[in-house]
Chains A and B, each alone.
Chain A
Amino acid sequence: MTETGDFIRRDRGRHPPAFTPGYKTSVLRSPKCALVSLEQGPGEKAGPVFPRSMLAPLDNDLIRNFGTGGEAIGERIVVHGRVLDECGRPVRNTLIEVWQANAGGRYRHKNDGYLAPLDPNFGGSGRCMTDDEGRYFFRTIRPGPYPWRNNGSDWRPAHIHFSLFGEAFVQRLISQFYFEGDPLIAKCPIVNTIPDPAAREALIARLDLAQQMPFDALAYRFDIVLRGRRQTFFENL
C-alpha cells in the first residue's frame, strides 16, 4: 500500500535559523516575519520524479567527467553512503546533485575570481541516484579550502555541496558536508549557523579505510537523512 501520511514536522532547531549575523550575507537575506506553519496538502506530499535514463555514464565520476580526457589533479576519493528517512526507510531512486571546488579551492564558475588556478580536467559538477537500498556513491578529488569575504578573510573548510529531492517537495534539502578532522570546521561561520553541535557533527563525512580503492582512492562515508513519513492511523478530516 502506498503511504499517504504526512511528513514529520521539520525540527527547525536542528537547522540553522535564517538570521545568523556571524554569516554576514544572512543579515539582509533573512525574513523578519515568522514562517507561517501549515498542514501539508497533496501537492507538498508529491515531488518531481527524475528518470534514471537522464544520467550519463560519467555523471558520478568527477575525476573524469570534464575536460579533454585527462584526470583531475588532487586527492582521489570515493564518497558513499545511504539516504534514509527519519523512520530509517531507504529513500530509493532519488537524485543527488553535488558541486565543489577543485583541489586548490577554485570553483569553475564565471563569478569565482580566486587566484588559485582552474584544473583543465575538473568541472566540479556531478550527480547520481540512490539504488533500492538508498545507497549512492561518486568519485571525485577532495576539494581545497578557500577564502571568502566575511570577517576579513574567513576560510571555508573543505566541503562538497549536495542537493536532494526525496519523494515529496517538503523533503527538499540542500546542504554541505565536510571532512573528518578538518580544523577549519570549528572556525567556519557557515558551519556555525547550526546551533546544535550534534547537528554540526552530522555534516562530517567519516574516513572509511575499508572502502578505499587500494593504490587508487581513499573513501569517505556520508549518510543523509530526509524527513520521514508518518503512518496514517486515522484519516484526520
Chain B
Amino acid sequence: MPVEYLKETPSQTGGPYVHIGTMPAVAGLPVRSQETLSVLAGATTPGERIRIEGVVWDGSGHPVKDALVELWQADSTGSHHAEGFSGFGRAAADFATGEWSFETVKPGSLPWRDGRPQAPHVSILIFARGINIHLHTRMYFADESAANAEDPVLRSIEQVGRRATLVAERTRKNGVPTYRFDIRLQGDAETVFFDM
C-alpha cells in the first residue's frame, strides 16, 4: 500500500454571491467598507504606478459580470512581503459591464527555481459562478518583450501562439499607464491557465 496522506478539501464554485464574504461592500453590505482591496499602491509606494484592467469573457463572448479576480505580485524590486506593500489584491467585475481593475505598481523581476530571471508578471486567480475550481493565470507586460522572450514559464507553453494570451498591452488612461488584460475562459484565443 502506498503511503497515505490527508486529502485536500475539494473545491466548489464561489457562486454568484462570493462578494458577501470577500468584498462585502460590493455586495451592498455596509461592513468593512473601508477595505479597498483593488488598490494595492498609494502615493508613497515605491515603483511605477500602473492600472491593470480587463474583462473575463465566457465561451459565448459575453462578460462574466459576477467574477472575482485576485492578484498576487512582487513589489517593484521583485520581492514578496515588502514593508508596506501586501502584494495581494481583489477586484469584483462590475455587475453591469464586467469590467474590473487594480491600482498597483509594476512588479520587478523575480527569480525562477533555478535562479534564471522571470519576466515581470502578476499572478491572477479567477473565481465565479460556473467555475468549479478557480483558474490560475499570469499577466505579463508587452513593454517587457525581451524579458518575456526568456521567461521560463512562458517558454513552458508548448503552443507558441498561446503565449500572447498572457501579455497585456500598455496604454494610458487618465494619464496613468494602463495594462489591458482580457481573460477568455473558452474558445478562440482562450487564455492559458496553469496547474502549479
A residues sitting closer than 8 Å to B (CB atoms) are 8, 10-12, 14-18, 20, 23-33, 35-44, 46-49, 65-66, 84-88, 97-100, 107-112, 123-127, 161-163, 169-170, 172-176, 190-191, 193-194, 196, 199-200, 202-203, 224-228, 237
Contact = CB atoms under 8 A, between A and B. Distances in A.
Contacts of A109: 16-17, 19-20, 27-28
Nearest to B95: A111
B128 interface: yes
Most buried by A among B9, B27, B80, B86: B9
Contact of A228 (B6, B74, B125, B128): B6
B156 A38 contact: yes
A41 B74 CA distance: 12
B17 A66 contact: no
A98 B70 CA distance: 17
Most buried by A among B5, B81, B191, B192: B5
Nearest to A35: B195
Q: Is the interface of A mostly helix, strand, loop or mixed?
A: loop
A190 B13 contact: yes
Contact of B10 (A25, A86, A170, A200): A200
B196 A39 contact: yes
A29 B131 contact: yes
A194 B24 CA distance: 28
6 contacts: A28-B58, A38-B195, A39-B196, A40-B113, A65-B31, A203-B12
Contact of A14 (B10, B58, B81, B192): B10
Contact of B8 (A14, A27, A127): A14
B195 A10 contact: yes
Contact of A194 (B10, B29, B110): B10
B7 A163 contact: no
Given A23-B132, A38-B196, A174-B12, A169 B123 contact: yes
A12 B136 CA distance: 14
For the complex of A and B, 4 pairs with smallest distance between CB atoms:
A99-B21, A25-B130, A48-B88, A29-B130
B22 interface: yes
Contacts of A15: 8, 10-11, 132-133
Interface residues of B, number: 72
B130 A23 contact: yes
B93 to A, nearest CB: 12
A163 B22 contact: yes
A31 B190 contact: yes
B112 A41 contact: yes
B135 interface: yes
B10 A175 contact: yes
Given A111-B95, A170-B196, A28 B186 contact: yes
Given A163-B22, A199-B7, A203-B12, A26 B193 contact: no
B157 A36 contact: yes
Nearest to B110: A43
A63 B59 CA distance: 40
Contact of A48 (B16, B72, B114, B129): B72
A65 B21 CA distance: 13
B164 interface: no
Nearest to A191: B12
B111 interface: yes
B185 interface: yes
B132 A18 contact: yes
A146 to B, nearest CB: 11
Given A36-B156, A48-B72, A98-B21, A193 B132 contact: yes
